[in-house]
Amino acid sequence: MARKPAFISHSPEREAAIQSRLLDVMEARFRRKIAGVVADESKQYLEAYQELGYVPAPSDDDVQAFRDLYKEMGLQTVRTFGARVVSQGKALGYDLECKQEGGFAALFRSLALAWINLEPIRKRITRVTETTRARIVSEVARGQQDGLGVAEIAKGINKRVPSISRARGALIARTETHNAANYAMHETAKSTGLELEKEWVATEDMRTRTFDKEDPDEYDHIAMHGQKRAMDEPFSMPWIGGPDLLIMYPGEAGKPGAATINCRCSSIHRVVGLDD
C-alpha cells in the first residue's frame, strides 16, 4: 500500500511553473480588455468634465461594465483551473464524481458566479471605477493648480490615458486571474469528496516576497513554500508587523494587498491516507 503523493505526477515546482504559464495566458487575454474599459471610462469622465466643469461620480453603467468583464474573466479562469484539478485526479486513477446536477461544467459555472459575488470581489469591482475617477480628479486638480484651463487639462490627461490604462489593466488582470484560479482549484478539490490536504508552492526567485533580503517585504512567501494544511484550515503567512496572516489559498480575496497583489504562488492537493 502506497500513499499517492499529490494530484500531480511531477514535482510541485513543475506544477507551479505550469500554473504560471496558464495564468500568463489568462492575464494576456484580459489585460487588454480591462485596459480598454479603463480607457473608455477615463475618456467619459474627461468628456463630462469638459461639459460640466467637474468630474461626476461613477454611474451604474460604469460598474456594470466591469462586473460583466469580471464575470467573463471568472468563467474562463475557473473553468481552466477547476478542470485541471479534475483531470489531474482522474489521470492518477481517482474516481471523481460531481454531485451537482450538470456535473463539473455546472460546478465551474456556479463557482465563477460565487467568485464574483464574494464581498471582497464585489467591492473591488466598484473600487476599480472609483479609482479611475479619483485619478482623473487628482490630475484635474493638479492642472488647476498649474493655472491651466479645462481644455488644456483634458488634453494633457488624454495623452496619459493609454499608458495608465495599460499598467492598470496588467495589474488587475494578473491579480484577479490568480485569485480566481486558486479559488477554483480550492473549491473544486473540496467538491471531489476525497479527504485532501493542500500545500503552498512558492515561486522561488528574486521577485518573490521574503523577509530575507536587504529591503524585506511585508509578508514572506518564500517561508510558505511546502507548508501543508487540511482543506478547511488556513495557511499561516509570516507578517513582518506581527502575528501570521491566516489565508486559505494564494491570492485569497479580502486579504491585504501587500500579501496578494502580483502574487505568483500556487497550491497543490494531496490525498490523505493510504491508497490500495
Query: Quick check: is 174 in a domain?
Result: yes
Cell representation of residue 3: 500513499
- When divided into structural domains, the chain yields a total of 1
Per the domain annotation, does 255 fall within a domain? no
Supply the DSSP string of 18-45, one letter for each residue.
HHHHHHHHHHHHHHHHHHHHHHHHHHHH
Strand partners, 246: 236
Is 222 among the domain residues? no
List, for residues 237-250, the tens digit of each pLDDT value. Answer: 999 999 999 999 99
Report if residue 256 sits inside a domain: no
Report the pLDDT averaged over residues 261-265.
90
Residue 267 counted as domain residue: no
Q: What is the pTM of this model?
A: 0.90
How confident is the model over 6-41, as pLDDT tens digits? 677 778 888 888 999 999 999 999 999 999 999 999
Does residue 118 belong to any structural domain of this protein? yes
In this prediction, residue 3 carries a pLDDT of 47
Domain with 95 in it: 12-194
| pLDDT tens digits, 137-158 | 999 999 999 999 999 999 999 9
Residue 219: Cβ within 10 Å count: 24
Note whether residue 257 is domain-resident. Answer: no
Instruction: Quote the cell numbers at residue 6.
Output: 499529490
* Segment 98-123, tens digit of pLDDT: 777 778 889 999 999 999 999 999 99
Inter-residue contact 244 to 234 (CB < 8 Å): no
- Is 270 contained in some domain? no
